[in-house]
Amino acid sequence: LVIRPTPESDAELAFEGALRPRTLAEFVGQSKVRGQLQLLLDAAAMQSRTPDHILLAGPPGLGKTTLAMIVAHESNRPLRMSSGPAIQHAGDLAALLSSLVPGEVLFIDEIHRMARSAEEMLYLAMEDFRIDIMVGKGAGATSIPLDLAPFTLVGATTRSGLLPNPLRDRFGFTANLEFYDDVELEEVLARAARLLALDVPADARLEIASRSRGTPRIANRLLRRVRDYAIVRGGGAGMEAVHAALELYDVDPIGLDRLDRAVLEMIVTRFDGGPVGLNTLAVSVGEEAETIESVVEPFLVRIGMLTRTPRGRVATRRAWDHLGVRRPDSGSL
Ligand code: ADP
């Protein structure tokens, strides 16, 4: 089992739903973004208008979906959820937009994966709450304008750089979510443990936090594994259960999972530490380039194990040390 930062089963989705904060005040960390969102929502409320469109960017599991739900909840508006891959044609988007009720919050996850033709329709919709629907084909084709109910678009993307500029520019506010530090993750875990009525001592919470890749979703998921362990083996959810459970699930001492390590090992052992191009790397470890780029790399870069250079990815000295591999030029005789 690899603990990936995206949900895999219905049980996990239900578990996540149960732990999701409902208000900005309950949302841990990201204090800057919280303040910015609060102001944006307050301003809209005072002027009785729909809040500006919001773009949430950051690696999976940092709270983008949660924030979209909070925006709807805090501004007392209904929420509609969709995703880029579900919008394969402009018609899919037209159907979605024309069925929104006034003031609705529309959440589009993975918005960078929406069809190009839909993107163009979205520009006009975001700007003027209007779309043009094409009827007929060839020389006889005409476009029929359709007014939409005002709405707030909340888009989520793993990397805002993947979005075309005209789309990015139409969001009134972009929040770049950062990885969480251990203290913040400990708070996420304290909250989750409380909701699960699970007694996890502070040292055990901090240990899970430090092995969660800076990601609340992973923290909650590791907590679930620790809870499983405590239920099956007895003896509570203390430090011993944490160590045993995390070892069982291949979470290494600094929280790297199997794919993180596979990427680093590939660069170090097969490519002498790099540089190696993204696509070559992706093929070598058998993963999609996009997964490597938006899921694996951001954390490895943040902890200083990987650097991106114009010629490709390079493993740092820290990576060699962490893997316990000696660098050929590291001063041996
Ligand atoms: P994303 O949409 O960015 O992939 P989600 O919003 O689905 O991430 O968050 C994943 C899980 O992590 C949710 O179950 C949520 O409970 C938890 N979570 C995320 N951010 C926070 C936070 N700031 N405080 C508390 N829990 C959080």
Mean pLDDT, to the nearest integer, of 154-182?
93
Cβ of 295 below 6 Å from ligand 1: no
Mean pLDDT, to the nearest integer, of 70-86?
97
In this prediction, residue 138 has a pLDDT band, given cuts at 50, 70 and 90, of confident
Mean pLDDT, to the nearest integer, of 2-18?
72
The Cα–Cα gap between 72 and 184 comes to: 24
Collapsing DSSP to helix, strand or coil, 216 comes out as helix
Cβ of 29 below 6 Å from ligand 1: yes
Cβ of 60 below 6 Å from ligand 1: yes
Cβ of 64 below 6 Å from ligand 1: yes
* CB-CB contact of 255 with 211 (8 Å): yes
Atom of ligand 1 nearest to the CA of 66: 6
CA 16 / ligand 1 centre spacing (Å):
8
CA 20 / ligand 1 centre spacing (Å):
6
> Tens of pLDDT along 47-69?
999 999 999 999 999 999 999 99
Q: What share of the chain has pLDDT > 90, as a percent?
A: 86
Q: Is the ipTM beyond the 0.85 threshold?
A: yes
> Tens of pLDDT along 223-236?
999 999 999 999 89
> Tens of pLDDT along 267-326?
999 999 999 999 999 999 999 999 999 999 999 999 999 999 999 999 999 999 999 999
- On the question of pLDDT at 6 being above 80, the answer is no
Q: What is the pLDDT of residue 14?
A: 84
The Cα–Cα gap between 205 and 183 comes to: 10
The Cα–Cα gap between 237 and 108 comes to: 37
In this prediction, residue 5 has a pLDDT band, given cuts at 50, 70 and 90, of low
Mean pLDDT, to the nearest integer, of 108-131?
95
- Please give the positions annotated as active site: 64-65, 109, 158, 217
Bond before 145 cis per omega within 30 degrees: no
Question: What's the whole-number average pLDDT of the chain?
Answer: 93
> Tens of pLDDT along 193-213?
999 999 999 999 999 999 999
CA 23 / ligand 1 centre spacing (Å):
12
Which amino acid makes up residue 162? Answer: L
Q: Whose CA is nearest to atom 19 of ligand 1?
A: 63
